[in-house]
Amino acid sequence: MTTDVVRRKVVVRGRVQGVWFRDSTRERASAQGVAGWVRNRPDGALEAVFEGVRADVESLIRFCQTGPPLARVDTIETTEERPAGASGFLVL
């Protein structure tokens, strides 16, 4: 099994604020040992950075494609970034 560490920035647009998206993301990231952060943006989007084992980061990105039950995801953008040695997961 590989420990290929990756870092991805994700921007999710749609009905993504006020629907427990940030806390649901934090819970999943913490359970999977993925580091990073998630926050609401002033433009109504949700932004997150995930850093960890590739399979776990990809799992979180898949979650962001639908989000929690009350969310409606219209678009999702993913950008690859260089791993920065992040630890822990924050809701900003």
Exactly one of 8, 28, 39, 40 is catalytic; which is it?
40
Q: How many CB atoms lie within 10 A of CB 68?
A: 16
Instruction: Answer yes or no: 40 catalytic.
Output: yes
Instruction: Answer yes or no: 82 catalytic.
Output: no
CA 51 to CA 43: how far, in whole Å? 24
Exactly one of 7, 8, 13, 22 is catalytic; which is it?
22
Q: Are 5 and 51 in contact (CB under 8 A)?
A: yes
**What tokens were used for 39?**
């926050």
Would you name the residues annotated as active-site residues? 22, 40
